[in-house]
Amino acid sequence: MKKQVKKWEKPAPSYGVWADKSLGQHFLKDSRVISRIIEALGPLAGKTVIEIGPGPAVLTKQLILKDFNKLVLLEKDPRMVAILQNGTWVSDGGLTGEAQVNLGLEADTGAVRDGGETEGERDEACGGAIPCSADPRVLVLEADALDVDWTHWIVPQTVVIGNLPYNVGTEIVAQLVTLAAAGHVPPEHMVFMLQKEVVDRICAKPGGKTWGRLGVLCQMTCDVEDLFDVAPGCFIPAPKVVSSVVRLTPLPAPRFGVSLKALDVVLRAAFGQRRKMLRASLKGVVSEEALLSAGIEPTLRAEALGLEDWAVLAGLVRSY
């Protein structure tokens, strides 16, 4: 049975596949932007690269030219998985001919992929992934990034890259930046393209409206860099918003030795009622007396606090 894909704008002829609006797909078409994103990863010799949401291999076909140890392509859309596994994109730089086999077909657990393999026959040593037919260094994993066991795939000397879907990008980032705090190996660094407003929040400073839970979490666990903006015209279909590229370099442990569980408690309480003073927003979480004893003015609002202040507040939450 064929899958009905929402066709919201004609793609470039070389893509040979419609963008699926329900998956938040926007395909990059500007080669200069693609090159800058890949350059932001730095030298890749001996490293494992994980690309989240490669789609029709637009960024991947430039990435494949680099000297890396292994490339894991993590893709949810079964139409794109068929393209990536086929491997025609490795040699011809496009998505014509055989690379369009099976596009638009509904994925099935027992569906036969190129080479006659079924999903049930995947090599367990590859963690459920299938090697790309054109390059043994490349593994294609059909999965939702929100459900992936990152501890299996992220090993020492791993970097992560991706043009993240707008609808789930922040959730993916939150999963990855908290790995080290949970005792797992974090990526060396990550380079993501997201909505500009999301990157503004990740890289925000105290005192403004963009300073919130996401920025505190990312900056408590990583060094963050807002690299450059990407105009809507660089995509097919063009999104309605500007995008930005951000680089996150995870720290070995959260700053100030803060407990992320305790931090989450105070962040949710304070930013959930960000216009209220701390003595009101944190009522039932941290007492006014505890705030005063810690040197934090109870009449301040959440957006006024810096990272060290948040670490102090988290330390006042005794249950964590």
Does the N-terminal peptide bond of residue 206 adopt cis geometry, omega within 30 degrees of 0?
Answer: no
Q: Which residue has the higher pLDDT, 181 or 129?
A: 181
Q: What is the pLDDT of residues 253-275, one digit of tens each?
A: 999 999 999 999 999 999 999 99
pLDDT digits over 16-33, tens only? 666 666 666 677 889 999
Show the domains of the chain with their CATH numbers.
Answer: 21-253 (3.40.50.150), 257-315 (1.10.8.100)
Backbone angles phi, psi at 136, to 5 degrees: -65, -15
Residues 166/24, Cβ–Cβ less than 8 Å:
yes
Q: Kindly report the average pLDDT of the chain as a whole number.
A: 84
Q: Has residue 13 got a pLDDT over 70? A: no
* Helix (H) and strand (E) counts in the chain: 12, 10
Return the ∠ at Cα 108 (arms to 106 and 109), rounded to 5°: 160
Give this prediction's pTM.
0.83
Give pLDDT, residue 303: 96
